[in-house]
Amino acid sequence: MNTATARAGANIALVKYWGKRDPRLNLPAAGSLSITLADLETVTRIEVDQGLDADRFELDGRSADPRPVAAVLDLLRPAGGPRCRVVSRNNFPTGAGLASSASGHAALVVAAAAIFCPQMGSGDLAAIARRGSGSASRSLFGGFCQLHAGVAEDGSDCRVEGLEEAGYWPLEVVVAITDAGPKAVSSRAGMNRTMATSPYYPAWVASVSADLERARRAVADRDFDELAEVSEHSALKMHASALAAQPGLLYWNAATVACLRRVRELRDQGVGVFFTVDAGPQVKAVCLPGQADRVAASLASIAGVEQVLRSGLGPGARLVES
């Protein structure tokens, strides 16, 4: 096969990944638990071109640095294998805290594997996607999944566990975009700075396994109130550790805070909704089925909210039949 196209949904961690135990293998310092989205997605096409002497990469219609993409391709193609043209598009803002590195690397790995390693299973694909971006391993799976940090030096026990398919609990996500531009400090740089300088970082790492247990149980019981509490706690705690870095990392703006307050007001009024925030100023409101219309209308009315996106839960990364 000379060309392949894959698509992958972004995912949102409810228990966050923030920091690494091995930067070279990109092994996380602690586990994470996420939901994969149906409607925020990447589509990536790879074409082998024997005439190229280096990989080419086009992202969102512009030529981009091919080196990170080449590094992932090198994990799948034989040494000295052919170079590729990679064309990718995200249907949501790139590098803005909406997990483009997750859907982007998941789609890349699925398309590249179709060309170079068609027999590879989703566990091995997830491990390669993780090398590109930690959160990407979770976009190989649909619905609810957990990335286990593992302890092995070679990363062999760092694996993703599928917990439930998307249809198991059809939560909906409303994304309030408060600034569509790329963030000033990437997730990778932000977590590395937090690890190196935040006095709260050890406390963060020590507390994640208890959050994971709580979140797993809440998903197993479809206990929305419990999932809301542990997810908001994990998100705020991640940002607390980042705020305490030097220099401090402040990913939020005024509209971010207004959205967080609004989500809590809605919950106090009995609406089934909770928030989470990644490394960026956008707020993701996770809603019980049937609640998203009201949540979307409420967040859209907040000053500084540029746009509201909506998504259900979706499947893992997959090939697009050509």
Q: Which residues bind ligand ADP (CB under 6 A)?
A: 42, 59, 68-69, 88, 90, 94-102, 104-105, 108, 186-187, 278-280
What residue ranges in 49-96 does DSSP mark as E strands? 56-59, 62-63, 84-90
Would you say 59 or 308 has its CB closer to ligand ADP? 59
State the binding partner of 59 from Co ion, ligand DP6, ligand ADP, none, CB within 5 to 8 A by kind.
Answer: ligand ADP
Q: Which stretch binds Co ion (CB under 5 A): 15-23, 166-174, 185-193, 237-245?
A: 185-193
Stated as kind and residue range, the H or E segment containing 175 is strand 172-177
Distance CA 135, CA 238 (A): 15
Dihedral sign from CA coordinates of 287, 290, 291, 295: positive
Instruction: Choose among 313, 259, 302: nearest CA to 281.
Output: 259
Instruction: Choose among 78, 117, 92, 110: nearest CA to 42.
Output: 92
Would you say 104 or 316 has its CB closer to ligand ADP? 104
Residue 101 is a binding residue for Co ion (CB under 5 A)? yes
Would you say 271 or 281 has its CB closer to ligand DP6? 281
Residue 5 is a binding residue for Co ion (CB under 5 A)? no
Would you say 187 or 198 has its CB closer to ligand ADP? 187
Residue 103 is a binding residue for Co ion (CB under 5 A)? no
Contact 72, 132 (CB under 8 A): yes
Would you say 187 or 298 has its CB closer to ligand ADP? 187
Q: What angle do CA 280, 243, 234 make, to 5 degrees?
A: 70
Binder among 26, 94, 187, 282 for Co ion (CB under 5 A): 187
Would you say 101 or 231 has its CB closer to ligand DP6? 101
Question: Can you say how many angstroms the Cα of residue 185 is from the centroid of all Cα atoms in its chain?
Answer: 16
CA distances from 46 to 80, 85, 141, 264 (A): 17, 6, 21, 44
Residue 133 is a binding residue for ligand DP6 (CB under 6 A)? yes
Residues interacting with ligand DP6, by CB under 6 A? Answer: 13, 16-18, 26, 32, 99, 101, 133-135, 187-188, 278-279
Residues interacting with Co ion, by CB under 5 A? Answer: 101, 187
